[in-house]
Amino acid sequence: MKQEIFVYFIGTAGSGKSTLTASMQQWCKERGLDAIIVNLDPGAENLPYQPDVDIRDWISLREVMDTNKLGPNGAQIACADMIALNTGDVKESINSFKADYILLDTPGQLELFVFREAGKYTVKFLSPEKSVICYLLDPMLAKTASGFVSQLLLAITTNFRLSQPQINILSKTDLLSKKELELIQRWSSDPDEIYEALCSEEASVHRELSEQILHLIKHIGGYTRLIPTSKKNYFGIEDIYTNLQQQFEGGEDLLKD
Ligand SMILES: Nc1nc2c(ncn2[C@@H]2O[C@H](COP(=O)(O)OP(=O)(O)OP(=O)(O)O)[C@@H](O)[C@H]2O)c(=O)[nH]1
Ligand SMILES: [Mg+2]
């Protein structure tokens, strides 16, 4: 019996989604775990992996631009909506692999998948019960307190929109110093520390708004541990795997014999 867990990699442009998707598949393969990759980005170029299922087989960004005389941004939006029209074929193709892990790489700009109905529909249609969102926080955008809080709000918005179990990941941590990484990890678990940091960041910071935002994050459980990852030496991948297993407790751990 295959587990068929759908794992979506979502994050802002350039946050490392495609790289992490590729690393996770490689990591799984080296441990004899069965993982396929689905590319859901119609505009993807130079992917760091060979997709097993590829939305570009059904939708071409270039064709949509030419046929509808659209610029790249307008065409991306049209393509994002077209994904929903092809979910039947995509699902059939995914099912033919009978894989344990289906790793789905999503479009560059997160708003295309998270804010448009097509993304929500796709997640529900492909697997309403066994989907997990891996939300990537880009460390380059999370180095300042206000940048970090903005990233956290985007992670929460993603959770709000897609309503699926979610793992928050701090990607590309090899680009951070040890001190920077420790600081971001403290911010992610301690509301007082992030408040202090916000207030000392700039004198003009809107204190009342900061307090309300942090209060909101605290009350909706936004302070969760971030899993640090890096493309170097599969750093953090085992942690993601363990988390996936925990999300679906009762599902057998395929690494245990
Ligand atoms: N140093 C470092 N660079 C990384 C890491 N992961 C990704 N990158 C680099 O960051 C850039 C973007 O990575 P991608 O994996 O393409 O990110 P993405 O989120 O898929 O990007 P889009 O789909 O274009 O939004 C590439 O140049 C990667 O080589 C990492 O762990 N460490
Ligand atoms: Mg990508």
Q: pLDDT tens across 34-79, in order?
A: 999 999 999 999 999 999 999 999 999 999 999 999 999 999 999 9
The residue whose CB lies within 8 Å of the most ligand 1 atoms, and thus the one to mutate among 19, 23, 135, is: 19
In sequence order, which residues have a C-beta less than 8 Å from that of residue 151 and are 6 or more positions away? 12, 137, 138, 141, 142
The minimum-distance atom of ligand 1 relative to the CA of 22 is 15
> What Å distances lie between residue 46 and 19, 50, 113, 136, 256, CA to CA?
11, 10, 20, 20, 35
Q: Percentage of residues in the chain with pLDDT exceeding 90?
A: 77
Mean pLDDT along residues 192-207? 79
Quick one: which of 12, 20, 42, 41 has its CA closest to 109? 12
Q: Which residues sit with their C-beta closer than 6 Å to ligand 1?
A: 11, 13-19, 41, 108, 171-172, 174-175, 230-231
Q: Which ligand is nearest to the CA of 109?
A: 1
* Structure-token pair, residue 38: 């689905």
On the CB side of 242, CA atoms within 13 Å amount to 5
CA of 147 to the centre of ligand 2 (A): 21
DSSP assigned state of 58: T
Q: pLDDT tens across 75-102, in order?
A: 999 999 999 999 999 999 999 999 999 9
CA of 78 to the centre of ligand 2 (A): 18
Going by CA atoms, what residue is nearest to atom 21 of ligand 1?
14
Greater confidence (189 vs 232) lies with 232
* H-helix or E-strand spanning residue 53: strand 53-54
Q: Which ligand is nearest to the CA of 10?
A: 1
DSSP assigned state of 164: S
Q: Is the pLDDT of residue 256 over 70?
A: no
In sequence order, which residues have a C-beta less than 8 Å from that of residue 51 and are 6 or more positions away? 37, 38, 39, 105
- The whole-angstrom separation of Cα 164 and Cα 123 is 9
Q: Which fold has domain 5-247?
A: Rossmann fold (3.40.50)
- The whole-angstrom separation of Cα 38 and Cα 53 is 5
Quick one: which of 15, 72, 19 has its CA closest to 42? 72
Q: What is the pLDDT of residue 195?
A: 86
CA of 47 to the centre of ligand 2 (A): 7
**Helix ranges, 41-177 (H):** 61-68, 72-85, 87-95, 110-114, 117-126, 145-162
- The whole-angstrom separation of Cα 135 and Cα 164 is 11
Least reliable range by pLDDT among 25-29, 118-122, 128-132, 192-196: 192-196
CA of 29 to the centre of ligand 1 (A): 21
User: What's the mean per-residue pLDDT of the chain?
Assistant: 92
Q: Is the pLDDT of residue 205 over 90?
A: no
Going by CA atoms, what residue is nearest to atom 9 of ligand 1?
16
First-residue to last-residue Cα distance in the chain: 15
The minimum-distance atom of ligand 1 relative to the CA of 105 is 20
Least reliable range by pLDDT among 100-109, 161-170, 181-190, 206-215: 206-215
Q: Which ligand is nearest to the CA of 230?
A: 1
The minimum-distance atom of ligand 1 relative to the CA of 14 is 21
User: Pairing relation of β-strands 131-137 and 227-228?
Assistant: unpaired
Edge-to-edge strand order for the sheet containing 35-39? 53-54, 35-39, 101-105, 5-11, 131-137, 166-170, 227-228
Q: Is the pLDDT of residue 257 over 80?
A: no
Q: What is the pLDDT of residue 76?
A: 92
Residue with tokens 């007082």: 192
Q: Which ligand is nearest to the CA of 17?
A: 1
